[in-house]
Amino acid sequence: MIKLKEKGFILGVLLLALGLRIHLMTRSLFYDELYIAVHGAQAHSLFEALFKTFDPSNHLGYTALVYPTCHLLGIKEWTLRLPALLFGLGSIFLFWQWVRKYFCVATALLGAILLALAPAHIIWSASARGYSACIFFTILSSALYFSLLEKPSLKTAVMLTLTNIFASSFHVYFLCVFLAQFLHFLWISIRFFSNHGPSIKKGSIVNISLSIAGSCLGSLLIYFSVLRGLIFMARDHRALVPDFPLTLWRDLWSVPLWPLGLFCLIFMFIGFIHSNNRLLHWRVYVALLFLMVFPIWLSQPVYLYPRFFAYLLPFLFLLLANGIITIVKDSTARLRPITIFFIVLAMGTIIGKWLFLPSTIVENFKYKFRESVQFAENVASPQTRFCAFGDKDEFFQFYSHRPVERFKTFEDFKGFYEKQDQIICFTMSGPPMPQEHKKIFLFILSLPDAKVKTFDNIMVLDLKA
């Protein structure tokens, strides 16, 4: 029975989380979000949105939710991000429910607060991407998996299978969670059949085996149409990034590695050691989730970002919260006030840094497509024609009320340029330009009367000023 005070507390945490995320929902879309907006929400059909082209920016599961959401509520920044917000808030609630069952109420509430305040979770909950969904489904999948280990249930097995299949569609790296479950189950099964482990009902082994098979088949079917693109991407490599594990640690925690990062690491280790034994071989499962990072990192994939491992975030805060509560509980009556003082000081410093970080992260990674187009529309005359070139030329039309011409070749642009009296063109610096678009850019730079207005990495070019 959950006490009314605890229900009120978690409701307050959810309202706090909503308040920290809601103001980010209407900011200008960055280009990964614009990919989902242009090729997902604005696609002619859901099938086209999901399967027409392969791009790592297209999180299939998220696109599948965004398409009906935007067709129901309209295509706006906040509607594109609405599923991410709901998954973010849902993950906090689900975390609290699951953790309180196996650990304690204090650990569950402290972990939920940390998840609500974490800058990484705030950003992912207010971005039109699949990372908050990965966090939600990681918690749900883990809860269902351990429930099956405790008690065989065909219904739970079906739910676990569907959860893993659906979750893998949000990001291919969710398969790390599925693989960790497979290895953990393999470890338990070997110990069970060799009589070196705790007793497990054979029904649980059968249910989990069927779920693993179903999850493999379902995930394969989801990615079958884009399998060629995935294989091509997997074969592409870049130089090893030596400090990636440290970058991952710093970005997930959003604190300096020293001394606050070390503080978190120590308390996480304490929380890991004192994990509840009610969850069968829990420490092995958590260790496997973290160890999944290393073979991926060492394989040198061409795309490797800390956000790909978003599934680790709830376990970071679970271990930290468990470590803090364990230390406080195990302290002697004389040392407990001092222990609490230093923990509050350290956590207060961390949270103080967190409160200002989301806005900084957003500003540093903001791509001002909206601002650049609005500027151009304000200064343009009714006769001015808009055009765009570069790797992301199709994204400018999303914010423009006027047609934005795009070009396959330099000759196409040259013909457009010669016929128009007033032209404003957009381009984004950073991604490699197609060769024909490089010719356009060099031509524009040679024009004596061209004027340039920059919005961070977006350029607005008045060609016939």
Q: Residue 394's domain spans which residues? A: 369-462
**pLDDT for position 325:** 95
Same domain, 185 and 319: yes
State the first-to-last Cα distance of the chain, in angstroms, to the nearest integer.
71
Strands 423-428 and 385-388 come out as parallel
Same domain, 390 and 356: no
pTM for the structure as a whole: 0.94
pLDDT tens-digit profile of 144-180?
999 999 999 999 999 999 999 999 999 989 999 999 9
| Number of CB atoms found within 10 A of residue 297's CB | 17
Q: Say how far apart CA 227 and CA 237 lie, in whole Å.
A: 17
Same domain, 54 and 138: yes
Q: Is 426 exposed, middle or buried (0-12, 13-18, 19+ CB in 10 A)?
A: buried
Same domain, 90 and 11: yes
Same domain, 147 and 38: yes
Same domain, 436 and 321: no
Q: What are phi and psi of 342, to 5 degrees?
A: -70, -35
Expressed in percent and rounded to 5, the helix, strand and coil fractions of the chain are 70, 5, 25
Q: Which of 364, 379, 396 is the last residue of a domain?
A: 364
Q: Is 455 exposed, middle or buried (0-12, 13-18, 19+ CB in 10 A)?
A: buried
Same domain, 324 and 418: no
Same domain, 359 and 406: no
pLDDT tens-digit profile of 109-146?
999 999 999 999 999 999 999 999 999 999 999 999 99
Residue positions counted in the chain:
465
Q: Which of 345, 364, 383 is the last residue of a domain?
A: 364
Q: Say how far apart CA 52 and CA 68 lie, in whole Å.
A: 17
Collect all residues with Cβ–Cβ distance below 8 Å to 129 and sequence separation of at least 6.
32, 33, 36, 59, 62, 84, 307
Same domain, 110 and 248: yes
**pLDDT for position 433:** 87
Same domain, 401 and 345: no
Strand order from edge to edge, sheet including 458-462:
404-405, 385-388, 423-428, 458-462, 451-455
Q: Say how far apart CA 369 and CA 373 lie, in whole Å.
A: 6
Q: What are phi and psi of 132, to 5 degrees?
A: -70, -30
**pLDDT for position 6:** 94
**pLDDT for position 56:** 67
Are the CB atoms for 219 and 175 separated by under 8 Å? yes
- Write down the residue that tokens 């795309």 correspond to: 303
Q: Which of 349, 364, 379 is the last residue of a domain?
A: 364
**pLDDT for position 379:** 93
Q: What are phi and psi of 123, to 5 degrees?
A: -65, -45
Low-confidence ranges of the chain (pLDDT < 50): none
Same domain, 455 and 397: yes
Same domain, 349 and 407: no
How many distinct structural domains can be found in the chain? 2
